[in-house]
Amino acid sequence: MTFEELTFVGDNYSEDLGANMGWQAQWEAPNGYLVVVNAQLPEDGSILPSATEAGQLYTCSVWAADRPEGGETPETTEADCDTSRVTQIITNMINIAV
């Protein structure tokens, strides 16, 4: 699995604008770890037209394989990830034996 294979959906809905501000992808590794990737929003508060704009950075959260239903705290969160770092995090999750 690589960054390019992720499917992003609109996220971060703004009632004021009536639109999704950002994008999110979720992927669960075969061993149960969940990787959540959020496109970081621009500082000017503008809407991201897509999840893969040039120079786009992402926040990656990793949730444990044994996470409780509706759990609120990820195992780790890393901001300012580029696409290669997202792929590296995904690969790391695949290689963890449960």
For 81-98, write each residue's pLDDT tens digit.
Answer: 999 999 999 999 988 865
Residue 5's Cβ-count burial label (10 Å; 0-12, 13-18, 19+) is: exposed
pLDDT at 89: 95
Q: Would you place residue 58 in the very low, low, confident or very high pLDDT band (cuts 50, 70, 90)? A: very high
pLDDT at 57: 94
Q: What is the Cα gyration radius of the chain?
A: 14
Averaged pLDDT for residues 38-42: 90
**What 3-state DSSP class applies to 86?**
helix
| Beta strand extents in 1-98 (DSSP E only) | 9-14, 19-28, 34-39, 58-63, 76-81
